[in-house]
Amino acid sequence: MSSASPSISIDLRVRYPECDPMGYAHHSVYPVWFEIARTELLRQTGVSYADLERDGMLIVVVKLELKYRRPARYDDEVRVIATTTRASGVRIEHDYEVRRGHELLCTGSTTLACLDREGKLQQVPEMLRLEK
Amino acid sequence: MSSASPSISIDLRVRYPECDPMGYAHHSVYPVWFEIARTELLRQTGVSYADLERDGMLIVVVKLELKYRRPARYDDEVRVIATTTRASGVRIEHDYEVRRGHELLCTGSTTLACLDREGKLQQVPEMLRLEK
Amino acid sequence: MSSASPSISIDLRVRYPECDPMGYAHHSVYPVWFEIARTELLRQTGVSYADLERDGMLIVVVKLELKYRRPARYDDEVRVIATTTRASGVRIEHDYEVRRGHELLCTGSTTLACLDREGKLQQVPEMLRLEK
Amino acid sequence: MSSASPSISIDLRVRYPECDPMGYAHHSVYPVWFEIARTELLRQTGVSYADLERDGMLIVVVKLELKYRRPARYDDEVRVIATTTRASGVRIEHDYEVRRGHELLCTGSTTLACLDREGKLQQVPEMLRLEK
């Protein structure tokens, strides 16, 4: 159990099929980038999501919010920053930022729930808990 | 200009690559379904988004919120309901529901902004306006 | 077991995020359309792929070939035609065409293999076999 | 103009939404990985595809072939190797391999055509030509 706010930055290059006819990264791609950052944040704590899933723990997104400020374009290098803001009970919450250099492109947040294979809510695993 | 709340229902079958290793439609797919419903709602008013774009009007998502209640699975037939809740000034707002039969799977909302090709905010076109 | 060549036509509207900055449906989207048509062709014979998968039969693509002749664009209505050309032993073969009105946009073919959950090759189920 | 066969290796981690309910990277994702490798190969020669596109040169895939040998799974690290095998006249040809450690997962090839904005075939730019 931790009391700091674990955070991670990952760098991604915007893929061609992630972009739409406007030439912008489609708005549905940002949740994918959030998930990549969140997975690496989990890996930092010594767990891989693939392992959790093999052990029968499913982690599903129950809430997602995004604000888009500026578009990302094909071939841009963007930085995705994920921070765990709360992880207790049956919920894990993260905040996100997507940046291109000094520009803030997008902010967002997710709430995750831990389920077993029958879809029953589970307590957040001890090693992932974050109390404030 | 209209004072009712235009609404549309479309039926979709969940595609195989839209589903993840849990067997659920990935959470990033719902914004794509919302967009399909929203496009058909626009077409109902006599405009196609493809035409607007050819005329130099870009409509971008600036805010997106979703709550996921139950998972959709591969090959499920789902109904996506989109309702325009506000369309005035430079913003258009929609609410969404995704249903499988009587079950509510997901609710959401988007805020769109109208831009010209230089990215400058534009007034919502007269024919799309909805005042309440 | 059948000796005719089962075939199906499905109509799809090109989705916005399926299109790239050129405004064309991205070349990686056509295999997804092929799969949708193939799934409906299977359903025509009275089986759903979702059912097969629940019964432990996996059907995987082992070979894929495509020729792109003209681009599909956002909001185009395209027709995808899938034909089973062979289904015997451990392999199922299909041919595909994508058309927009009278224009031929793309042709392709796939070879599928039937596997059990351990990845071992299985005979094509009797009801799907097609000998020529 | 060059007479060697330019080649590149890139390492990718398989993303969660790239995987299907079998837990395998969906077969439509490999062409996306090929394109990422091909883009980096182009960048190596000092050109970015984004630049070419801004200059009005479109490079489209006209032929695609893949053979799938073993599945990639979520969170796998895979290596994608792209080699230019021919670049002359109006066509550019590449071969691809996808590997996980010593295992060969997939091989493929693409043929690209160079077009102007009106869709007219163009000669391969001098700096990209490869004669054998």
Give residue-wise pLDDT tens across range A40-66. 998 888 888 888 888 888 999 999 999
pLDDT of residue C117: 85
Which tens digit of pLDDT belongs to each residue from A72-104? 999 999 999 999 999 989 999 999 999 999 999
Residues in C touching D28 (Cβ below 8 Å): 28-29, 31-32, 35
Q: How far is D73 from chain A (nearest CA, A)?
A: 10
Q: Cβ contacts (< 8 Å) between A53 and chain B: which residues? A: 21-22
Q: Which CATH number is A24's domain given?
A: 3.10.129.10
Taking CB atoms and an 8 Å limit, are C16 and A17 in contact across chains?
no
Q: Model pTM? A: 0.94
Place of tokens 């799907």: C128
Whole-number pLDDT of residue D69: 96
Distance to chain A for C79, nearest Cα, Å: 22
Residue among B16, B21, B28 whose CB faces D74 most closely: B21
Q: How confident is the model at residue B106 (pLDDT cuts 50, 70, 90)?
A: very high
Q: Is residue D61 within 8 angstroms of chain A, CB to CB?
A: no
- Would A70 be classed as within a structural domain? yes
Question: Is C2 among the domain residues?
Answer: no
How many angstroms separate the CA atoms of D109 and D96, rounded? 6
* Confidence check: pLDDT of B3 > 70: no
Q: Report pLDDT for D121.
A: 92
Residue B1 lies in a domain: no
User: Residue A85 sits in which domain range?
Assistant: 7-128
Does A68 sit within 8 Å of B63, measured CB to CB? yes
User: What does the pLDDT look like over C35-87, one tens digit per residue?
Assistant: 999 999 988 888 888 888 888 889 999 999 999 999 999 999 999 999 999 99
B48 with C75: Cβ contact below 8 A: yes
Residue C1 has pLDDT above 50, yes or no: no
C62 touches chain D (CB under 8 A): yes
Residue of A nearest to D19 (CA): A50
Q: Is residue B2 part of a domain?
A: no
| Residue where the block lists tokens 């799938």 | D68
- Number of domains comprising chain B: 1
Instruction: Give the tens place of pLDDT for each residue, B39-55.
Output: 999 888 888 888 888 88
- Could you give the 3-state DSSP secondary structure of residue D85? strand
D68 and A CB contact within 8 Å = no
- In this complex, the chains that touch C, judged by 3 or more CB pairs closer than 8 A, are A, B, D
Chain D residue at shortest CA distance from A74: D50
Q: What is the Cα–Cα distance from C123 to D103, expressed in whole angstroms? A: 26
- Chain B residues lying within 8 Å of C48, measured CB to CB: 75
Residues of D in contact with C27 (CB under 8 A): 31, 60-61, 64
Chain C residues in contact with B48 (beta carbon < 8 A): 75
- For residue A112, is it within any domain? yes
Q: Residues 8 to 47 of C: which have CB under 8 A from any A CB?
A: 16-17, 19-23, 26, 28-29
CA distances to A110, C56, C89, C97, C108 from A100, in Å? 21, 46, 53, 41, 39
The pLDDT assigned to C74 comes to 93
Structure tokens at D22: 């079998």
Q: How far apart are CA D69 and CA C90, in angstroms?
A: 15
Q: Which residues of chain D have pLDDT under 50?
A: 1
Chain B residues in contact with A58 (beta carbon < 8 A)? 22
Question: Are A58 and B22 an interchain contact pair (Cβ–Cβ within 8 Å)?
Answer: yes
Task: Give a yes or no: residue D1 inside a domain.
Answer: no
The answer to whether residue C50 neighbours chain B at the CB level (below 8 Å) is yes
Q: Is residue B63 part of a domain?
A: yes
Answer yes or no: is pLDDT of B1 > 50.
no
| Three-state DSSP string of C37-100 | HHHHHHHHCCCCHHHHHHCCCEEEEEEEEEEECCCCECCCEEEEEEEEEEEECCEEEEEEEEEE
Tens-place pLDDT, residues C89-129: 999 999 999 999 999 999 999 999 999 988 899 999 888 88
Answer whether A49's CB lies under 8 Å from A42's CB. Answer: yes
Q: Is the reported ipTM for this assembly greater than 0.90? A: yes
Edge to edge, the sheet with strand B77-88 lists: A7-13, A77-88, A91-100, A103-115, A58-68, B58-68, B103-115, B91-100, B77-88, B7-13
Closest-CA residue to D10 (of D54, D59, D43): D43
What b-and-e string marks burial along D56-66, b requiring 16 or more CB atoms within 10 Å of the CB? Answer: ebbbbbbbbbb
The verdict on residue D65 lying in a domain is: yes
